[in-house]
Amino acid sequence: MKIGIPRALLFYYYYPLWKTFFEEMGCQVVVSKQTTKELIDKGIKHSVPEICVPIKIFNGHVLDLLEQGVDYVYVPRMMEIRKRECFCPKFMGLPDMVKYSLPGAADKLLSSQIKSDSDDIAQPGNFLEIGAKLGKSDFLVREALKDAQRVWNRYRYIMKQGYTAAEALEILESKQSIEVRQHKGEIKIGLMGYVYDIYDEFVSMNIVDKLREMKVDVVTFEMYDERLLDAGLKHLRKKLFWTFSNKLLSAAYKFFEDDTVDGIIHVTAFGCGPDSLIGKVAELESIRCQKPFMTVRVDEHTGENHLLTRIEAFSDMLKRKHRAAKKEA
Among 145, 172, 208, 272, indicate the residue that binds ligand SF4 (CB under 6 A): 272
Binds ligand SF4 (CB under 6 A): choice among 8, 25, 39, 52: 52
Nearer to ligand SF4, 24 or 80 (CB): 80
Which positions from 188 through 207 interact with ligand SF4, judged by CB under 6 A? 194
- Residue 303 CA to its chain's centroid (Å): 22
Task: State the DSSP H helix or E strand holding residue 18, giving kind and residue range, or none if neither.
Answer: helix 11-24
Please name which of 300, 302, 271 lies closest in space to residue 37, comparing C-alpha atoms. Answer: 300
Strand, helix or coil at 31? Answer: strand
Nearer to ligand SF4, 89 or 104 (CB): 89
Burial class of residue 189 in the structure, from the number of CB atoms within 10 Å of its CB (0-12 exposed, 13-18 middle, 19+ buried): buried
Per-residue string for binding with ligand SF4, 81-120, x by CB under 6 A?
-------x-x------------------------------
Cα–Cα distances in Å, from 327 out to 66, 98, 123, 221, 291? Answer: 59, 56, 54, 31, 19
76 belongs to the binding site for ligand SF4 (CB under 6 A): no
Choosing from 269, 282, 294, 307, the residue that interacts with ligand SF4 (CB under 6 A) is 269
Q: Which of residues 53-72 bind ligand SF4 (CB under 6 A)?
A: 54-55
Comparison of 276 and 309: residue with beta carbon closer to ligand SF4? 276
* 31 touching ligand SF4, by CB under 6 A: no
Residues 142-181 contacting ligand SF4, CB under 6 A: none
> In the complex, what is the shortest distance from the CB of residue 195 to ligand SF4, in angstroms, rounded to a whole number?
10
Query: Nearest distance from residue 276's CB to ligand SF4, in Å?
Result: 9
Could you tell me which stretch among 19-27, 51-59, 158-166, 317-325 binds ligand SF4 (CB under 6 A)? Answer: 51-59
Query: ∠ at Cα 260 (255, 263), nearest 5°?
Result: 50
Q: How many Å apart are CA 8 and CA 15, to the nearest integer?
A: 10
Lay out the sheet containing 2-5: strands in order across: 28-31, 2-5, 72-74, 109-110
How many residues contact ligand SF4, by CB under 6 A?
Answer: 11
User: Do residues 73 and 65 lie in contact, with contact meaning Cβ atoms separated by under 8 Å?
Assistant: yes
Kindly state the smallest distance separating residue 91's Cβ from ligand SF4, in Å. 6
Distance CA 317, CA 99 (A): 47
Q: Which is nearer to ligand SF4, 22 or 194 (CB)?
A: 194
Helix 138-160 vs helix 11-24: crossing angle, to nearest 10 = 150
For residue 275, state whether it binds ligand SF4 (rule: CB under 6 A): yes
Residue number with CB closer to ligand SF4 (53 or 311): 53
Q: Position 313: which residue type?
A: A
Please give the residue ranges that form the binding site for ligand SF4 (CB under 6 A).
52, 54-55, 88, 90, 194, 269, 272-275
